[in-house]
């Protein structure tokens, strides 16, 4: 099968006014100008439904788990509901959903547990395109003699070099760790195909979907991956991480845990007391997306169908903004855009763009924009392998512009005007 992201679908236009009305922080002003949040890849804004769920948790269900009284039962019910929401989000069973502090912490813990079963000479494949949180936890296993093989990119379009990937997966490969989408240049990787390559070689597949999650629907059943991680704070929820693990894999590996804690799934992977109020917020973030989906498509009855409808509308909206943005950027003198720019290939990328302008340090550009109420990011955003490979690490990295479903054409135009002004100084 092909990676679901690559199947474009049409939807009625996103109800942008309704979307923006759900996000109170979008009304923020900076120096007398409306804030333009183009910093989504580092963390998105939060709809009021998420804020209310967190407040409601403290008002009605603030207790630890499994107690014999009302607030504790309320807490258990809240966590179970959020787990059910994430199961619909991932398209898996509830006991295959694990909550954790953030993607990085979850991945280090999982890598350590998997590492217990590995021996010197076993191999793990990572990539040059990935965030370091999908590299360093696996590289940490080099201490045990595990060999890390790193897949290169095709520099011209910042896509993964699939020929190199095929060469790097061998009979010794135990796990392939690949991102669903690049948090730096927006490339969407063909993760379904890569999962098949991994499985054909007898290796497990670990997908970092942190960057992909606000842009496209995830279907772990269709992908057939062994593990997939994403962080709700990148898809309109609170600052936490979540893991999907195939049931047999979550049972196969032994997490580091305290003895009295349950050994059943998923508890064995959730060490200590969780940030339960934020788990309440995760459930609300998924329900917000489902509510959006039902508004876009009234025939979407169950939550999973509603989520798919929300992502169809999101994808269409973001792709329109992406076209407008890239066309405007390419007309700016001395601007270098990294990654795919041809609209015919937009199905291979999401709406996250990295640029440089001449020799300007990206921090200088981000500050210029920030003073005008336009929030972008500068540096390497922890995609360290990539910024080194592209030769920009010593020069301040890139400037990143991130578009998500609450952004607008007016914000794109404001950014383009400001960048033109910056470039012509
Ligand atoms: C692609 C990608 N992977 C992993 C991470 C790390 O996520 P977390 O902050 O949840 O540890 C990030 C954060 O920016 C990211 O963009």
Give the 3-state secondary structure of residue 308: helix
Of ligand 1's listed atoms, the one at least distance from the Cα of 133 is 4
Taking each helix axis from N to C end, the angle separating 303-330 and 70-90, rounded to the nearest 10 degrees, works out to: 60
Backbone angles phi, psi at 206, to 5 degrees: -115, 125
- Residue 32 Cα to ligand 1 midpoint, Å, equals 32
**What's the CA gap between 384 and 91, in Å, rounded?**
31
Q: Is the dihedral of CA 143, 202, 230, 86 positive or negative?
A: negative
The CB of 231 under 6 Å from ligand 1? The reply is yes
How far is residue 156's CA from residue 390's CA, in Å, rounded to a whole number? 10
Q: Does the beta carbon of 133 sit less than 6 angstroms from any atom of ligand 1? A: yes
Alpha-helix residue ranges (DSSP H) falling in 116-234: 136-139, 162-168, 191-200, 220-223
**pLDDT for res 3:** 54
Question: pLDDT tens digits, the chain, 425 residues: what are they?
Answer: 455 544 456 789 999 999 999 999 999 999 999 999 999 999 999 999 999 999 999 999 999 999 999 999 999 999 999 999 999 999 999 999 999 999 999 999 999 999 999 999 999 999 999 999 999 999 999 999 999 999 999 999 999 999 999 999 999 999 999 999 999 999 999 999 999 999 999 999 999 999 999 999 999 999 999 999 999 999 999 999 999 999 999 999 999 999 999 999 999 999 999 999 999 999 999 999 999 999 999 999 999 999 999 999 999 999 999 999 999 999 999 999 999 999 999 999 999 999 999 999 999 999 999 999 999 999 999 999 999 999 999 999 999 999 999 999 999 999 999 999 999 98
- The Cα 54–Cα 71 span in angstroms is 14
241 CB near ligand 1 (under 6 Å): yes
Question: Measured from the CA of 105, which atom of ligand 1 is nearest?
Answer: 11
For the CA of 182, the closest atom of ligand 1 is 1
Given this model, what pLDDT does residue 10 score?
77
Pair 325, 353: CB distance under 8 Å:
yes
Pairing of strands 352-357, 398-402: antiparallel
Nearest atom in ligand 1 to the alpha carbon of residue 43 is 14
Length of the chain: 425
Q: What is the 210 CA–ligand 1 centroid distance (Å)?
A: 6
Residue 11's pLDDT is: 82
**Ligand 1 center–CA 117 separation, angstroms:** 26
Cα(323)–Cα(329) distance, integer angstroms: 10
CA atoms within 13 A on the CB side of 176: 30
C-alpha of residue 103 to centroid of ligand 1, in Å: 6
Query: In 10 A of CB 20, how many CB atoms?
Result: 17
Residue 327 has what pLDDT?
98
User: How far apart are the CA of 221 and the centre of ligand 1, in A?
Assistant: 23
Measured in whole angstroms, the distance separating CA 309 from the mean position of its chain's CA atoms is: 19
What span, in angstroms and rounded, lies between the C-alpha atoms of 44 and 232? Answer: 9
Task: Assess contact for 11 and 314: CB atoms under 8 A.
Answer: no
Q: What is the DSSP track for 220-244? A: HHHHT-SEEEE-GGGTTS-S-EEEE
Q: Which helix (H) or strand (E) holds 149?
A: strand 147-151
Check pocket membership of 178 for ligand 1, CB cut-off 6 A: no
């Amino acid at each position: 099968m092909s990676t679901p992201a690559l199947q474009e679908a049409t939807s009625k236009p996103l109800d942008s006014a309704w979307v923006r009305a759900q996000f109170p922080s979008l009304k923020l002003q900076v120096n007398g100008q409306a804030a333009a949040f183009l910093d989504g890849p580092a963390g998105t804004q939060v709809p009021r439904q998420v804020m209310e769920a967190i407040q409601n948790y403290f008002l009605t269900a603030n207790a630890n788990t499994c107690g014999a009284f009302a607030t504790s039962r309320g807490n258990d019910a809240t966590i179970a509901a959020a787990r059910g929401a994430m199961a619909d989000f991932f398209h898996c069973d509830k006991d295959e959903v694990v909550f954790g502090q953030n993607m990085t912490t979850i991945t280090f813990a999982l890598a350590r547990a998997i590492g217990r079963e590995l021996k010197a000479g076993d191999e793990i494949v990572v990539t040059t395109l990935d965030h370091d949180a999908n590299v360093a936890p696996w590289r940490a296993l080099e201490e045990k003699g595990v060999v890390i093989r790193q897949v290169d990119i095709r520099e011209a379009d910042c896509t993964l070099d699939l020929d190199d990937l095929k060469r790097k997966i061998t009979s010794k490969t135990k796990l392939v760790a690949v991102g669903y989408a690049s948090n730096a240049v927006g490339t969407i990787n063909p993760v379904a195909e890569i999962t098949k390559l991994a499985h054909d070689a007898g290796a497990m597949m670990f997908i970092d979907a942190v960057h992909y999650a606000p842009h496209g629907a995830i279907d772990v059943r269709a992908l057939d991956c062994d593990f997939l991680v994403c962080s709700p704070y990148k898809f309109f929820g609170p600052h936490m991480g979540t893991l999907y693990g195939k049931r047999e894999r979550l049972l196969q590996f032994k997490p580091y845990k305290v003895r009295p804690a349950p050994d059943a799934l998923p508890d064995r992977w959730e060490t200590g007391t969780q940030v339960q109020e934020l788990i309440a917020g995760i459930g609300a973030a998924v329900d917000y997306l489902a509510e959006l989906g039902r508004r876009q498509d009234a025939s979407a009855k169950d939550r999973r169908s509603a989520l798919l409808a929300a992502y169809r509308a999101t994808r269409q909206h973001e792709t329109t903004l992406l076209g407008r943005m890239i066309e405007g950027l390419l007309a700016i003198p001395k601007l270098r855009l990294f990654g795919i720019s041809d609209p015919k290939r937009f199905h291979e990328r999401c709406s996250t763009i990295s640029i440089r302008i001449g020799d300007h340090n990206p921090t200088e550009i981000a500050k210029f924009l920030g003073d005008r109420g336009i929030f972008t990011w500068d540096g390497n955003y922890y995609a360290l392998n990539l910024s080194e490979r592209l030769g920009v690490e010593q020069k301040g990295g890139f400037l990143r512009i991130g578009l998500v479903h609450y952004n607008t054409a007016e914000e794109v135009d404001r950014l383009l005007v400001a960048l033109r002004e910056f470039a012509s100084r």
